[in-house]
Amino acid sequence: MILSDNYIIEQEKIRKFVDEEIIPLAEYHDREEKLHPKIISEMKEQGYLGCVIPNEYNGLGMDQISLAILNEEIGRGCSSTRSMLTVHGMVSLAILKWGTIAQKETWLPKLAIGELIGAFALTEPNVGSDAKNIETKAVEEWDSFVISGKKKWITLGQIADLFLVFAQVDGKPSAFLVERDSLGVSVKPMSGLLGARASMIAEITFEDVRIPKENIIGKVGTGLSHIALTCLDYGRYTIALGCVGLGQACLENSVNYSRERIQFGAPLHKNQLIKKMITEMTVNLKAARLLCYNAGHLKEIGDPDSIMETWSAKYFASRAVIKIASDAVQIHGANGCSNQYPVERYYRDAKINEIIEGTTQIHELLISADTIRTV
């Protein structure tokens, strides 16, 4: 896909921001397992936390291709920083698409400028892919809902101000907005992750948390079929583009290293087997990018096929980036196993993408089922 001049200018602006602000702190994020406050402030200042929110609510109102560019470029710089775009955007999108006018006016302007940070609370200690069997309960009492349960692996959970919480109401999955400072909400930070270590993941416990009835998003029973479906589709799209960005970082670092590293009296890139790896990295990266941009185009024109094309893009991109990152480490040799070189971090970050927002195996089940149904 050839980008128009306006998109190219936008990409150059974001790339400059990533090079100057995000990349210099990426190693800090990985080591300290938290986002530097400066980066959070910068993301707010640039308006990127309001990327999916329309201008009328103080957001950037980006189209799907602009979202692709944003996620790819920030993913090139730091996977953990990019994760903010996914989960914060999921909460924003849920309110934008399924919220009442009052909910939109209350929450969207604050989410757009980063006054509030949002987190998507679906996964539980005993429930991952089988989301319809979440164990968290919400009981209706007069003018309130009382929520009890536990969520786990919640990205940005350590710093989020507003949780989009999924709970069963008489066996019907439903979605609610729960503020962090609500009585009965407790947050337990999680550490020691394989990759994307600064995603600030947490376990969230809700002990008889009482929220106003108007904090339900949509209706009772629409939590998964409507709200989660919308959010997860956006999540898969952004993560797929994050994989492309991460793959681009692997490629750029590998090419630069192969130019500088001298072995057997010649630069490493002169070796035919190194050329083979760089070729495969390049082609897989181009294929992943085109799949993502195709999904974005279909989303932009409202084509219902965009959902399955997003599944395909996320499936391919998340698998491709693992191979790309593995080859990047191989090209770096022993140096690739050292945290003195970023490819060591890229390799760990890459694996995370095969698990979040639908595992590779869940993608295989759905893509094959759709193919069998339509061919």
| Residues marked as catalytic | 357
CA distances (Å), origin 86, targets 45, 89, 106: 18, 5, 21
Closest CA to 189 of 205, 175, 206, 201: 201
Q: What count of Cα atoms within 13 Å lies in the side-chain half-sphere of residue 91? A: 37
CB 177 within 8 A of CB 92: no
Looking at the chain, the number of H-run helices and the number of E-run strands are 11, 10
Q: What phi and psi, each to the nearest 5 degrees, are found at residue 306?
A: -60, -30
Q: Give the C-alpha separation, 79 to 249, whole Å.
A: 11
For the record, the structure tokens of 221 come out as 């029973």
Q: Which two structure tokens, joined as six digits, stand for 89?
A: 């955007």
Joined together, the tokens standing for residue 233 give 């589709």
Candidates 22, 50, 18; CA nearest to 38 is: 22
What is the phi-psi region of residue 160: left when phi exceeds 0, alpha when psi lies from -120 to 50, beta otherwise?
beta
Distance CA 240, CA 256 (A): 25
Could you give the CA distance from residue 306 to residue 39 in angstroms, rounded to a whole number?
A: 32
If you ran DSSP here, which 8-state letter would residue 147 be given?
Answer: E
- In the chain, the amino acid numbered 103 is Q
Q: Are 19 and 74 in contact (CB under 8 A)?
A: no
- Say how many C-beta atoms besides its own lie within 10 A of residue 225's C-beta: 13
Dump strand ranges (E) for the chain.
118-121, 137-141, 144-154, 162-169, 172-179, 185-189, 202-212, 216-217, 262-263, 266-267
Give the gyration radius of the chain's Cα atoms: 21
